[in-house]
Amino acid sequence: GLIVVSFGPSYSYSLMRLLYGQKWSDGEASTVLQFYCLYVILLAMNGTSEAFLHAVATEHQLKQSNDTLLVFSVIYVVLNVLLIRRAGAVGLILANSLNMIFRIAYSGVFIRKYFKDTPSFSFKGCMPGGSEFLLVTGVATVMVERMYVKREEFWFGFGVHLCFGLGCLAGCGLMIFRREKAFFNKIIRSEEHVD
């Protein structure tokens, strides 16, 4: 998910241009795809955090959660109406994103309370190694896209942007592998012992 967030927004226009041509890339479609790339990580975070909440919550806590989700649903409907009128398809994705953020925040508060007596727990510890580098890479690829990818001179700018992105992707892969080496080794060892 973090790879999609890091590279998706800055390569959405180029992907639309390559696959569907200038007519579609210069319209709303590439912007919608940019926002959708950000929405994907929110979906993943919400799914994981709510799954944990539903797995460990008491019956009373589940009822509270369902009541809160009902309130969030009402807010979501209002946001849909308002944001779709103002921003079209992007507004729809924004409304969905805000709904996911509310739900993640609610689950996050629950998770923090659940682990309050566990000093070693931190949300930062849940992030994969190299996530800061992915964030910096995402900003850098957006900046390179803004500087080089022009609608009129697409192919030259796209070449520069693509090479820069491939270099960043290789750097991210190396950084993640180095920081998560123990995790990868554990996976490899588990595969070796499968009969």
Contact 128, 2 (CB under 8 A): yes
Q: How many other C-beta atoms can be found within 10 angstroms of the C-beta atom of residue 118? A: 8
* Contact by Cβ (8 Å): 100, 39: yes
pLDDT of residue 194: 54
Report the amino acid identity of residue 69: L
The closest alpha carbon to 90, from 30, 45, 43, belongs to 30
- SS3 string, 56-96, reads HCCHHHHHHHHHHHHHHHHHHHHHHHHHHHHHHHHHHHHHH
Q: Look up tokens 């696959």; give the residue.
A: 19
How many other CB atoms are there within 10 angstroms of residue 143's CB atom?
A: 12
Q: How far is CA 146 from the centre of its chain?
A: 21
Residue 158, pLDDT score: 95
Residue 166, CA atoms < 13 Å, CB-side half-sphere: 6
pLDDT for the residue 27: 86
pLDDT at 195: 53
Q: Which pLDDT value is given to residue 151?
A: 84
Contact yes or no for 61/107 (Cβ under 8 A):
no
pLDDT for 3: 85
Total-model pTM: 0.82
Q: What is the mean pLDDT of each run of 10 residues along the chain (195 residues)?
A: 87 93 88 94 94 96 96 97 96 97 96 90 76 88 94 91 95 85 81 61
109 CB neighbour count, 10 Å cutoff: 11
Neighbour-count burial for 9-43, b at 16+ CB within 10 Å, e otherwise? bbbbbbebbeeeeeeebeeebbbbbbbbbbbebbe
